[in-house]
Amino acid sequence: MRRAHTVEEVRAVEGALMARLPEGTLMQRAAHGLAGAVADWLGSTYGRRVVLLVGSGDNGGDALYAGALLARRGAGVEAWLLGRSAHEGGLAALAAAGGRVGAPRALRDRPDVVVDGIVGIGGRPGLSDAASAALALLEGVPVVAVDTPSGVGVDSGETPEPHVRADLTVTFGTHKTCHLVDPAAQACGAVQLVDIGLDLPEAPVESLQPADVGRLLRVPGPDDHKYTRGVVGVRAGSATYPGAGLLSVAGASCGLAGMVRYVGDSAVADRVREQHPEVVGAGRVQAWVVGSGGGAAAGDELAAALADEVPTVVDADALQHLEAVLDGSTRADLVLTPHAGELAALLGVERGEVEARQLHHARLAARRFGCVVGLKGRHTLVTRPDGRTRVTTTGTPWLGTAGAGDVLGGVIGAVLATGLDPWDAAAVGSWLHGAAATLVSDGGPIVAGQVAGAVADVVRGLPVVSTPARR
């Protein structure tokens, strides 16, 4: 599991650890990790030119000590001081190693890398005029950020003000929310975690890794059959949008559940039977998938699904009818899967607001509707009413294609039918969907219909723990 903690949590744990360690130990651990990461990223240090952008906080100290280590390895290191003060010990170490301190200026020779030590995790979003001016002088030079790119919202994942855009971010002890949640995550580049010995609590934001997915997946045992493995029902598609129904069924038919039922428009049902002869009609299910391409009938289909009182994935057109069907009540067994525009409509805000404050709005919706919300995007956020969030980091930009969300809803429904709780099912389904897209894409374009068939290949490659399916 990749875990992300808040600034308050990190500072509390660091404070407790620093009270037991000799002064400066944590900064030295961070500096050694940072210097090693920069050296690895450069490929070599001898003769390389490094510019440090140094603020007055501890991140500036980390950068200075790391610069001293790089200078000892043969790099030419210059620090530009951007704060009212700088870490004295770090300055002395840099000078002793042969590094220099200079003022921001136009450079005749382009540096190999800039190390962003301007603002630490306690900084507010945005950059000072001096920092912005220094960055402008270094435009086009690769940036390695210390802990977080300066100027992003560390706990929120937001970027309301000018900020650093890093090629690599080296963080210490744990990930922070901004490393996982967009739009800030897009400013981080690759993220490398350096262990500095922190004993951390449960994280409010996390990201599944392959071993986690393998542990959570329900796999059939020797006594299982199609009904005990879980039956997922699909109410999607219409005469106007038959493809949405077919793609939802394709996702549900990824093989994780024992049976798929389709209930809906008769013309769509005929096409479902042609393409998926294993799919059957109405009957008892353990989970429903409702809404994709449902058109005018989506509200009735949602009401019918909720009347069964089984977990339900609510997508696309069904989201428009959610409040009316719930009539003021909440259902903890629902998984809502809106994109930013659909979530904006649910909450009565502009789409741009949702895109700028993704975690905030996903949590707001989860509290309001009392259920799991999967806000689809580059990094899909799967949030439950208490605010805990899992971030899907699998996927490829090629997945931004028509019908991908229809397949996703079906995959989540299949996982939900096997007996996982809604939060686990939504997170696992989203992860598998992104991983399948990456696999089938192989760096090139894809269409949504290709994704469902690749889920099985992804599962075969997982370290699956044999957890029986539902009984």
150 is in an annotated binding site: yes
140 is in an annotated binding site: no
3-class state of residue 88 by DSSP: helix
| CB 292 within 8 Å of CB 237 | yes
226 is in an annotated binding site: no
3-class state of residue 402 by DSSP: coil
123 is in an annotated binding site: yes
| CB 260 within 8 Å of CB 236 | no
> CA 429 to CA 415: how far, in whole Å?
6
Return all residues near 270 (Cβ < 8 A) that are at least 6 apart. Answer: none
300 is in an annotated binding site: no
155 is in an annotated binding site: no
59 is in an annotated binding site: yes
116 is in an annotated binding site: yes
> CA 75 to CA 99: how far, in whole Å?
9
3-class state of residue 255 by DSSP: coil
405 is in an annotated binding site: yes
126 is in an annotated binding site: yes
348 is in an annotated binding site: no
β-sheet with 168-172: strand ranges across: 100-102, 76-81, 49-54, 113-117, 143-146, 168-172, 190-194
58 is in an annotated binding site: yes
Percentages (nearest 5) of helix, strand, coil residues in the chain = 40, 15, 40
11 is in an annotated binding site: no
360 is in an annotated binding site: no
339 is in an annotated binding site: yes
244 is in an annotated binding site: yes
> CA 437 to CA 397: how far, in whole Å?
9
212 is in an annotated binding site: no
> CA 304 to CA 299: how far, in whole Å?
9
> CA 67 to CA 381: how far, in whole Å?
37
379 is in an annotated binding site: yes
Residues in the chain: 471
167 is in an annotated binding site: no
378 is in an annotated binding site: yes
83 is in an annotated binding site: no
62 is in an annotated binding site: yes
120 is in an annotated binding site: yes
**What is the bridge-based pairing of β-strands 49-54 and 76-81?**
parallel
- What are the helix (H) ranges across 253-385? 266-275, 298-307, 322-326, 340-347, 351-356, 358-369
**What is the bridge-based pairing of β-strands 467-468 and 218-219?**
parallel
Which amino acids are annotated as binding site for K(+), given as ranges? Answer: 59, 116, 150
Which amino acids are annotated as binding site, given as ranges? Answer: 58-62, 116, 120-126, 147, 150, 244, 293, 339, 376-380, 405-406
Which amino acids are annotated as binding site for (6S)-NADPHX, given as ranges? Answer: 58-62, 120-126, 147, 244, 293, 339, 406
Which amino acids are annotated as binding site for AMP, given as ranges? Answer: 376-380, 405
